[in-house]
């Protein structure tokens, strides 16, 4: 079984109303953390920055404003629904990114094929049981040898 889904999309980093530039952003979803998606922003001249937040937040943000606290996602234009704004905040610092909806939906569709929405808990439970079983097996092998 495939363990992750990955995609790279171009997003606009909105520095101000007058200034923005396009950056590559890696989207990643892993079965080891079935509730979260990770976005790694590759800003010029800086080390990549990764944010993890709920997959469901990204899904909901494509269709309407959602999120509170440090991650907020909303359509850029509620009439068109072709782009979203992703606002990330740490303290008083905020970064805003504009992304096309189509590549996000394509990525989310691939995550849903890997782990259907609503089935995350079953996978999380399976993973924890598998880890426990492997730990027991390793402990038994070490004590036998």
**What is the residue range of 66's domain?**
4-118
Is 141 part of any domain?
Answer: no
- Domain CATH code at residue 35: 2.30.31.20
pLDDT digits (tens, 9 = 90+) for 53-86: 999 999 999 999 999 889 999 999 988 889 999 9
Is 22 part of any domain?
Answer: yes
Is 138 part of any domain?
Answer: no
Instruction: Reduce the DSSP state of residue 140 to 3 states and report it.
Output: helix
Is 145 part of any domain?
Answer: no
Is 131 part of any domain?
Answer: no
**Continuous segment of H or E residues that includes residue 143:** helix 120-144
Instruction: Provide the domain count of the chain.
Output: 1
pLDDT digits (tens, 9 = 90+) for 11-58: 999 999 899 999 999 999 999 889 999 999 998 888 999 999 999 999
Is 49 part of any domain?
Answer: yes
Is 126 part of any domain?
Answer: no
């Amino acid at each position: 079984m495939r363990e992750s889904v990955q995609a790279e999309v171009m997003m606009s980093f909105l520095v101000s109303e007058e200034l923005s530039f396009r950056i590559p952003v890696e989207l990643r979803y892993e079965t080891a953390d079935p509730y979260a998606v990770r976005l790694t922003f590759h800003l010029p001249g800086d080390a990549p920055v990764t944010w993890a937040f709920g997959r469901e937040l990204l899904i909901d943000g494509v269709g309407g404003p959602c999120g509170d606290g440090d991650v907020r996602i909303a359509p850029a234009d509620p009439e068109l629904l072709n782009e979203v704004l992703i606002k990330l905040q740490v303290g008083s610092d905020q970064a805003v990114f504009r992304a096309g909806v189509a590549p996000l939906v394509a990525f989310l569709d691939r995550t849903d094929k890997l782990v259907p929405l609503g089935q995350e808990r079953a996978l999380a439970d399976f993973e924890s049981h598998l880890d426990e079983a492997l730990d027991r097996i390793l402990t038994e092998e070490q004590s036998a040898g």
